[in-house]
Amino acid sequence: MQPSQPTPLNENYLRDDVKSPEREDLLSSLPSEEGWFQTSLRLYRGFWLPSRHLNGVVACQNHFQAHPSDILLVTSPKCGTTWLKAILFALLNRAEYSDSNPQQRHPLLTQNPHDLVPFLEIRLYLQNKNPDLTAFTSPRLLATHLPYSLLPRSVRDSNCKLVYLCRNPKDTFISMWHHFNKLRPEERGQVPLLERLDKFCRDVSGYGPYWDHVLGYHKASSEMPEKVLFVKYEEMKADPSVQVRRLADFIGRPFIEEELRNGTVEGILRMCSFDNLSALEVNRSGKLPSGIENKWFFRKGEAGDWVNYMSAEMGERIDGVMEEKWHGSGLKF
């Protein structure tokens, strides 16, 4: 059920009127576009960032020191972040929470993946300009929505690994549209889809232009395949067990023969499946510190759902932009 009053989200998350001199200086100098709800997007070094995240972005760029052992999950919003956070967490911690160790309750059963694998700019560096990350054990598993060109210098310069997940822009757009409808008070009605599609195609979307976000990591992955793994949501859906093995190899934790025989891959996929995660109490009734409800990260979890919301013409419009922007890159969906 949609709330009839504005959702009681944490103030800092959605409001633009939280003052800080640095923020004011930066904000006032940047081009602005209307965002989805109670927040604007600001054009910061070629990308439209939610203004409420800018402090976190700048703090993370200034202070985050990557370790060579770090693993960073990178996504544009609504590309399957929650799913991949769960899978990477389960992959890295599989020895500790294996069937042979039943007394250890798996953290994914009681915590949302966003709490287990925090975002740099939206969580850690937004809450604290220079957070203490010493409690993270190595390898640290962290996440970001930042485009490649805006990553902290130490991430680009160190040998840390980046897993980049992207998704068909039509499904990404529709997933985003649903998510932001949830953030809106019911009396304001749905976000007008056509108007938002127009913005999306004109490059204006959170952490967008979407095309440039994907292209930046596609290029980085072609040039540095040992540093950047490029994964599509649709590939994950089509053959999850092949993709999970690919992920395990990439992060330096390949499955051993015994694990392949005893069903470890299938166990991880089952634990991280949409049906399992979305049915857990924590994901049905819990909230993130921002106030966003955990259940909003689990809608349908399908590939191709855009056809239920967009006309063929609208789909062709996105296809046209995709072709134009990715021409010659080999990228397609």
What residues act catalytically?
145
Could you give the CA distance from residue 216 to residue 146 in angstroms, rounded to a whole number? 11
Nearer Cβ to ligand PAP (262/276): 276
Q: Restricting to residues 7-26, name those near ligand PAP by CB under 6 A.
A: none
Q: Restricting to residues 158-177, name those near ligand PAP by CB under 6 A.
A: 171, 175
Nearer Cβ to ligand PAP (50/301): 301
Report, in Å, the least distance between residue 22 CB and ligand PAP.
Answer: 26
Nearer Cβ to ligand PAP (158/278): 278
Interface with ligand PAP (CB under 6 A), residue total 21
Could you give the CA distance from residue 249 to residue 163 in angstroms, rounded to a whole number? 12
Could you give the CA distance from residue 223 to residue 29 in angstroms, rounded to a whole number? 34
* DSSP collapsed to 3 states, 290-311: CCCEHHHHCCCCCCCHHHHCCC
Q: What are phi and psi of 310, to 5 degrees?
A: -115, 145
Q: In what order do the strands lie in the sheet with 32-34?
A: 32-34, 40-44, 47-50
Report, in Å, the least distance between residue 175 CB and ligand PAP.
Answer: 3
DSSP, residue by residue, 19-50: --HHHHHHHHTS-EEE-SSS-EEEEETTEEEE
Cα end-to-end distance, the chain, whole Å: 33
Q: Restricting to residues 176-215, name those near ligand PAP by CB under 6 A.
A: 178
* 256 to 275: interface string for ligand PAP, x by CB under 6 A: ----------------xxx-
Task: Please tell me whether residue 82 binds ligand PAP under the rule CB under 6 A.
Answer: yes
Could you give the CA distance from residue 162 to residue 154 in angstroms, rounded to a whole number? 13
From the list 1-9, 32-40, 259-267, 300-308, the region that binds ligand PAP by CB under 6 A is: 300-308
Interacting residue with ligand PAP among 277, 314, 318, 321 (CB under 6 A): 277
Q: Residue type at 192?
A: P
From the list 36-44, 191-199, 297-305, 319-327, the region that binds ligand PAP by CB under 6 A is: 297-305
Task: Please tell me whether residue 78 binds ligand PAP under the rule CB under 6 A.
Answer: yes
Interacting residue with ligand PAP among 35, 50, 80, 169 (CB under 6 A): 80
Q: Which of 283, 324, 275 is nearest to 302 (CA)?
A: 275
Q: Which residues bind ligand PAP (CB under 6 A)?
A: 75, 77-83, 171, 175, 178, 272-274, 277, 297-301, 305
